[in-house]
Structure 1
Amino acid sequence: MKRVLLFVATNIAILAVITIFMRLFGFDHYLTENGLDYRALAVFSLLWGSVGSFISLAMSKWMAKKAMGVQVIEQPRTADEQWLVDTVKRQAQAAGIGMPEVGIFPSDSPNAFATGMKKNDALVAVSTGLLHSMRRNEVEAVLGHEVAHVANGDMVTMALIQGILNAFVIFFSRIIGYAIAAATRDERGGGYTMGSFIGTLIAQIVLGFLAAMIVNAFSRWREFHADEGGSRLAGNQNMIDALKALQRSSRTEPLEGEFAAFGITSGGQVRQVLSKLFATHPPLEDRIAALENNQRA
């Protein structure tokens, strides 16, 4: 939960920096000199809101390799590495996507993630803890889950949603700031007051948390679809067994930052209301129940 809140706070901090930048370089004055230009503000918000998300997405593979210590399997050195590459290759062909890079990252926690800007140029990585604690049929299901993320275009979709919501946060927080400016404008008129500037920052914080709830709600919905994709690629019972193995593990921890949304699990059990609102993954028991219902159908 702390890591999710940290990620949300980081995104809000970026928006706050944008607001300060606008203030220091006079963009506030430009947008409000003759009344608020809603069209200019909308274009500005969309550009500023989206650029960060897509830069992050474009750099995601590089960031994953550096931040998570992912070692890409260029030439398999062991039977396990050869099996990983062959399994991902077979699943990628079945899913109709290009062969992703396959990597391993050091972590005692059983986890895996997929990232990349393009379906045909992605990265699928598994932790050492996952390889050591799960049977091959369970690892195969986890790989299928991650390949399904790539095939579904989840990374691009998440970036689009985050960018659009960032734009809404910037747009409406500026409108709130302008409303405060209009209410507190002195007789000489013009410009933003300090009260409106602070009001804009507060609005960004509040709206930023609301946007994070929406993004994470979509992320949770997306996990059910990735589970379905994993069950098609590796077998429904194998997918159920993999999730049950994660459920039994006492060492499951969330991945760092933006990669948390694309792991097989967010770690721990989601029980409190606040935790549920900001969780990137549904509870494992709900995901298992959904697969078991599909099995009975």
Structure 2
Amino acid sequence: MTTADDPLPALIRELRSQSPADRTRAAKDLGRLGWLAREALPALVGALQDDDAKVRESAAHAVGLMGPEALPALVEMLGHDDKYVRRNAVWALGKLGPLARPALNDLCLALKDADPRTASGAAQALGGLGADGADAVPPLAEAMRGTNIVLCRLAAKALSQIGPPALATLIAHLQHADPFIRGESALAIGWMGGTARSAVPFLARVVRGPESALVRTPGPLSKTPTAIVPPDSDTTTPPQINDSGDASADVNCRVYAAQALGRIGPAAIGALADLRDASLGAPESVRQAAEQAIRHIQGL
């Protein structure tokens, strides 16, 4: 039983109950209290070693709700044997945003976690650091070139959130041999908006199509796009979505590059001729994206 005035002592005692169900319930109740239960943080950290998986997961989630004071514990959790503990750690670090900057190196290591969701969560957390995550650009670039499609997409998004320090890397990836990576790079550059104006000539080349592309860096075989794994999924390999191959992927690259130019806006005025040329005789999706980009650039 807990008291209305101070439930913490009783909840901490319940974390040591003989009943796994009671221990799980206590961890969840402490999590609901959030930072108000920060005095229970040592007990919750101890519960991360519980023999019961549900207790460990509930305790990990509760630790993640304790705010910045839990940062040292969250970093330690990144090395836990239980993937659910690690998943909760990257989730919580992501919620901390720039306050998670001391965990940058550990999050970079987590990009290579054997659990795909932990690795993807680490990318999201690094993106949440914004410009403070500049040191994470090389590991995120490497993550984009791996075989985890979801991680590639989230790493690209993180690079866009880091901003100008990551722009050169994203421009380089526009020249990658893998069309999926090229497309994700174009999308990420578009998310950066007008700050990505130096990417305009490179995006314009992608819009014009493979025949005008720059010399591409070697890379792995083209990826097949995949669906993002739901948060409660245990699937280690994301389900595949049918794709018609490299030709379709190249068309997607052109579409994403055109959309990126549109998002850059008036600063992409130098690409108008390329967009107009691309709309002539191109696949319908490229034509529509190019025409829409022209309107955005001209402020119509």
Q: TM bucket by the smaller chain?
A: under 0.3
TM-score of the superposed pair, with normalisation by structure 2: 0.27
Q: What TM-score, normalized by structure 1, do the two folds share?
A: 0.27
The structure that has the greater radius of gyration is 2
